Amino acid sequence: MPTSIKALGTQGSDQPIELLTIERRDLQPDDVQFDILYCGICHSDLHLAHNDFGGSRYPMVPGHEIVGRVTAVGSEVKRFKVGDMAAVGCIVDSCGTCPACHRDLEQFCSGEGGTSLSFNTPDKYLGGVTFGGYSQAYVCKEAYTLHMPEGMDPAAGAPLLCAGITVYSPLKHWGAGAGKVVGIVGIGGLGHVAIRIARAMGAHVVCFTTSQGKVEDAKRLGAHEAVLSTDADQMKAFASRVDILIDTVSAPHDVNAYLNLLAIDGSMVLVGLPNEPLQVGAFNVVKGRRSFSGSNIGGIAETQEMLDFCAEHDIVADIELISADRVNEAYERLEKNDVRYRFVIDMATLA
């Protein structure tokens, strides 16, 4: 029989986060079950809870930056045992047979049913939709469950399950490293992790922010240089100098000012999720053979690679650990960008 547990969720786009009771499926032979210790709050949790992109389904339990301790494993599980630290990010299933899955790009699965996400997608086992990590426990197929590296702070490491892989994947794909200038647009939940990862890859890191306070914080985070993007003279000084530009901004903004920072063959990669279309001037990409691209999280193997890379380089997120009863307050503050730099829920407080 499915197990009933406590969770935090919402009944509608205009409703607060509240205490709910949900069900987790019976343990299947290839499943890992774990008690959730910490769950990060991602900006996309907020967008989906508020139905900013359309298609949200309720009741909804958000959360896809999930870390916990294994309490049971199925009879066919080989890589986990009771007591291990485990994690689940955005992806909990895919078809496994399409061209994307064969390339370990489960996030782009084109097979029947597509990618199953940790919340708000059809639940193949119980019906309805999947419920996320704002809850007491999780059950996931072993193939989509990740190992949290030993010694990593599990609370500060939780945001890496989304924020970390979202920036690691494009930095790796577009070749960040020694001899490259990497620009980071926006110093928030994604941007502050991107600074640390790009620096660890050996790149020269330049931050672009509208906040003077974050200009001052950028070097603490690992940036070599920081630019106040509202200052035209500071922006002009970096024209045609940046090889890879990671745009983490999830609000409407003018991307053309940043495209002009790209060197010849430079790429600007959008990883933020503005809920309005962005306009791109043709001459801003034609000149210099520049590219405006996008990237969306990463596959399971790459996510594990990212966790191991971050553990090797002592990279975690800057977090504000909150109790379960403060999630609505956190959402209100997140809408105002009032966090440095990621909220994480201590799920023990749900009990």
Residue 144 neighbours by CB distance under 10 Å: 20
Same fold, 3-162+298-350 and 163-294: no
Residue 206, amino acid? V
- What pLDDT, in 10s, does the model give residues 305-344? 999 999 999 999 999 999 999 999 999 999 998 999 999 9
Residue 31, strand partner residues: 141
Asked whether the predicted pLDDT for residue 150 surpasses 80, the reply is yes
- Using DSSP, state whether 69 is helix, strand or coil: strand
- What pLDDT, in 10s, does the model give residues 10-21? 999 999 999 999
pLDDT, residue 113, reads: 86
pLDDT, residue 199, reads: 98
Extents of the domains making up the chain: 3-162+298-350, 163-294
pLDDT, residue 19, reads: 97
- Residues 203, 181: Cα–Cα separation, whole Å: 6
Residue 295, amino acid? S
- Residues 292, 170: Cα–Cα separation, whole Å: 12
How many residues does the structure list for the chain? 351
- Residues 131, 305: Cα–Cα separation, whole Å: 26
pLDDT, residue 89, reads: 98
Strands 85-88 and 66-73, how do they pair?
antiparallel
Give whole-number Cα distances, 255 to 71, 274, 284, 312, in Å: 47, 12, 10, 34
- Using DSSP, state whether 189 is helix, strand or coil: coil
Phi-psi region of 55 (alpha: psi -120 to 50; beta: other; left: phi over 0): left
Fold classification of 163-294 is Rossmann fold (3.40.50)
Indicate the average pLDDT of the chain: 96
Residue 351: which pLDDT band, with cuts at 50, 70 and 90?
A: confident
CATH number for the segment(s) 3-162+298-350: 3.90.180.10
Q: Which two tokens stand for residue 19?
A: 């205490």
Give whole-number Cα distances, 9 to 50, 61, 164, 332, in Å: 12, 4, 24, 15
- What pLDDT, in 10s, does the model give residues 180-211? 999 999 999 999 999 999 999 999 999 999 99
CA atoms within a 13 Å half-sphere pointing along the CA-CB vector of 271: 32
- Using DSSP, state whether 308 is helix, strand or coil: helix
- Using DSSP, state whether 86 is helix, strand or coil: strand
Residue 189 neighbours by CB distance under 10 Å: 29
- What pLDDT, in 10s, does the model give residues 93-141? 999 999 999 999 999 999 988 999 999 999 988 989 999 999 999 999 9
CB contact set of 22 (below 8 Å; sequence gap of 6+): 4, 5, 7, 9, 61, 131, 135
Residue 250: which pLDDT band, with cuts at 50, 70 and 90?
A: confident
Task: Name the one residue in this structure whose structure tokens are 């809408």.
Answer: 335
pLDDT, residue 231, reads: 95
pLDDT, residue 276, reads: 85
Asked whether the predicted pLDDT for residue 272 surpasses 80, the reply is yes
0.85 surpassed by pTM: yes
Asked whether the predicted pLDDT for residue 1 surpasses 70, the reply is no
CB contact set of 234 (below 8 Å; sequence gap of 6+): 227, 228
Q: Which two tokens stand for residue 91?
A: 């992806």
Going 85 to 90 to 95 to 100, the CA torsion angle's sign is negative
How close are the terminal C-alpha atoms of the chain, in Å?
Answer: 22
Asked whether the predicted pLDDT for residue 251 surpasses 90, the reply is no
pLDDT, residue 346, reads: 98
Residue 274: which pLDDT band, with cuts at 50, 70 and 90?
A: confident
User: Average pLDDT, stretch 233-262?
Assistant: 95
- What pLDDT, in 10s, does the model give residues 59-106? 999 999 999 999 999 999 999 999 999 999 999 999 999 999 999 999
CB 42 within 8 A of CB 189: yes
